[in-house]
A and B are shown apart, each in its own frame.
Chain A
């Protein structure tokens, strides 16, 4: 396959790290080289989080450059806006339609920008906006929102669905396996029929 550089951006506690781990593992099981770069900030919850996943037949740098990312999964709208300079002009974005207020907004020192989705629509080659929390809740747990988002990305990468399911089953706690697989399937169905 061609190289794939993917960013998963969100807020601490949203499950971006686990989603990145699953994505990279699928790449590895499919026989590709992979590099994953995570930054652990100072906060356990609420700070910005980004996981960079690079797949290809060979990968050097663990970090990607602006304008070169093939896909971004934004777990939160503001983070979608923040990271969009990294997307290539042919890249696509999946945005969870959720707002998590950053501290400067909560403190009244900044304003959460209005109309992010509208702007994204104007500028992006390809965009999927999803209410992932709602869909995940319908599947059994709002916390499986990360798997819904991953499910939307998955069909475009061309790996077999069984491979994804195998990796997910290994990566998540046994008690949440069913919910997470269901959430992944929900995302997969959305994109493959879109």
Chain B
């Protein structure tokens, strides 16, 4: 049976079919849906771990115990898990272990666009790169087989366009892979220096053998082009699809295994073409290695080293930059509108290059992400902005508090860094700075990597104020549960971490639990907390408005007579508040005077009431929902 699956769904299916027993992850775009889909298969134990390091260690334990395991994370998650990842390469596994890294070229939702292929080389771990959903599924099984055969974790690297693109996948049944027996092996699994020294040469030997495998594996495919054989491309992952699309007749060496690279195969391919190009996103990972082997090749001299590639960029980089070759012809056929399939596009003119519409809008405003209407984080950021505090931030929906008009975040580095950076600022500039600084961190993020930094603040006699933005979920990635919500990945009830008690146990004595939608109390709490001469925590607790909304029956309206257009409400950046130029009422006598008046869009308003609280003129008031609907 064939199904349309995203790369992430296909990886989950691959884990199921390949007999995986344990899977763990922390949610992170674009990798989140891998575990969400694995959780649909009761045959696999699935969990949200508090962070990627823990997830990988769970996977490692499962593999050591003889089970097949899969661990998934976004690219920056592998930074968190890098510590066990590098040493796992030494210990090897027992049951197969595949680590999926979902990279995000173009940074659709990430803080950087690192190229995690470099981790394969740095850690000496073999790497597979699927180029569509079918391969994403198939490669999970290949990776697990390799992992068991060569006694190594295997990295499967995907990118956003693989993770979140759907293509057809042929499904199969699950293979029940029996547990391998567990045998105590201190020299293999206890990485004391003496034992690790013996493992390192074994690791290098293993990579040599895998290099041999890479040369002969049918993961690597040579596709000879029709006619124009003098030009060859080497590519992997989604770049392969782009090259296929751009140059349907080109000769391609398509690699499914990109570490270790198949040297002999590449040299053979290179010897049969006059010009060789490597098409890869981000870093010249393959290109550098080819050049080190003395192969004449080009790649990044024509292609960008930032952002995603696309058929368009590849086509432009080659046809336009390269121009006609000395062989007297345009090097590559014009793409896309020239279908290779005669069934397609019969109606269109055969040689038409589809022109782009001549479009002339001068300024199309961007549409950056925004805190949802009714988002409880908005209250905290509004309060922080008014108090003009320095705010060290973290990763989550609330990172959007950095954007105008809230503009109330000074830093965002990685998960957990908000607390440690606030502590560092205080230590650098003294207590006065400390009292002008707060760290903000979400509940899920706090449990991911905020606990240790908060412990550090207490231990090292800091006096930082930490606001835990507790919306009872991992909101940004789509509302996943975490150790504080009381539910597992399959919504089974479980123990919920008590944040208050946890902070107290870390040594924090000043703790306030406040509702971020009650601005007066919140401001007062922040004032007290920042003044305190010791570590303090505010738990700003209100559930994410998309999860539950106690105010769903409330609706607010602007009373135009009372509004003086002061713009205070505008600083909330609420999508439900729309500002329109309106003429003054006729009785004022002036026909030309216009004012910017707010209006509340009843379809967007979630009744949080923040706008009524910030208005100094009582010009925003709650109204019965029926009335609002009539006027809206």
Instruction: Spell out A's residues near B (CB within 8 Å).
Output: 2-3, 11-12, 24-25, 28, 33-48, 56-63, 65-68, 78-79, 81-82, 84-85, 87-90, 100-113, 116, 119, 123-124, 142
Contacts and interface: CB of A to CB of B under 8 A. Distances in A.
B252 to A, nearest CB: 11
Contact of A37 (B164, B242, B362, B573): B164
26 contacts: A3-B339, A24-B4, A35-B165, A37-B165, A38-B165, A40-B109, A42-B399, A46-B372, A57-B341, A61-B310, A63-B161, A65-B315, A78-B364, A78-B367, A79-B367, A81-B361, A81-B364, A85-B356, A85-B359, A88-B354, A102-B367, A107-B404, A109-B404, A110-B365, A123-B359, A124-B357
B363 interface: yes
B137 to A, nearest CB: 15
Given A43-B370, A81-B361, A61 B167 contact: no
Contacts of B579: 106, 108
Interface in B343-402: 343-348, 354-373, 397, 399-400
A108 B476 contact: no
A104 B575 CA distance: 10
A41 B399 CA distance: 13
B365 A78 contact: yes
Given A39-B164, A41-B108, A61-B241, A103 B370 contact: yes
Contact of B355 (A40, A58, A67, A110): A67
Interface residues of B, number: 77
Interface of B: 2, 4, 6, 29-30, 108-109, 132, 160-161, 164-168, 238, 241-242, 244-245, 248, 310-312, 315, 335-337, 339-341, 343-348, 354-373, 397, 399-400, 403-405, 475-476, 478, 546, 567, 570, 573-575, 577-579, 596, 603
A110 B365 CA distance: 6
Contacts of A40: 29-30, 108-109, 164
B475 A44 contact: yes
B53 to A, nearest CB: 24
Contacts of A104: 365-366, 368, 404
Nearest to A49: B367
Interface secondary structure of B, over-half rule: loop
Contacts of B357: 67, 84-85, 87-89, 123-124
Q: Which of B367, B405, B574 has the most CB of A within 10 A?
A: B367
A64 B344 CA distance: 16
Which of B166, B355, B373 has the most chain A CB atoms closer than 10 A to its own CB? B166
B165 to A, nearest CB: 4
B344 A3 contact: yes
A45 B372 contact: yes
A123 B359 CA distance: 8
A173 B335 CA distance: 41
Contacts of B343: 2, 57
A136 to B, nearest CB: 12
Given A25-B4, A33-B167, A107-B570, 11 more contacts: A35-B165, A39-B108, A40-B108, A56-B344, A65-B335, A67-B354, A78-B367, A79-B367, A100-B575, A103-B367, A142-B603
